[in-house]
Amino acid sequence: MDLAKQWTPHFLADADSRLSVVRTIRRRIETLKSHCNADSYQKEVLCSRAVFVAVLIETLETKAMQGEPFEPGSYSQLVNTLTGLLKSLGLDRKLKRAGDLKSYLEEREEA
């Protein structure tokens, strides 16, 4: 393997927008940024990384469904990574505590 004499960065902004996958990834990043109010460069970077990891997970899942070999260790590591990124972005949604049926019916009658 030959190492390049000079490193050249590749940015998503420079990727070919004619490719459907590029448009889909950009749209997912923008959606995530709006959902978490990405108001800083740090959050924007985390949004991009979260979408990248999510795409990797989706790719592994699709390949597994098509009968290709599946590595559960790599898969679970990626899921844990995505979980950490999403928590860092503040997307660890809290479930509302469910009340009892009687309270629910009383609220509906009042409305």
Cα three-residue angle 16-19-24, rounded to 5 degrees: 105
Residue 106 maps to a domain: no
CA 92 from chain centre, in angstroms, equals 12
Residue 39 maps to a domain: yes
Confidence tier at 9 by pLDDT (50, 70, 90):
confident
pLDDT tens track for 24-57: 999 999 999 999 989 999 999 999 999 999 999 9
Give the residue with greater pLDDT, 105 vs 17.
17
Which range of residues forms the domain containing residue 71?
13-92
Structural domain tally of the chain?
Answer: 1
pLDDT tens track for 69-87: 999 999 999 999 999 999 9
Give residue 87's pLDDT.
94
d(CA 21, CA 64): 20
Query: Is the entire prediction scored with pTM above 0.95?
Result: no
Give the residue with greater pLDDT, 97 vs 103.
103
Residue 49 maps to a domain: yes
d(CA 44, CA 27): 13
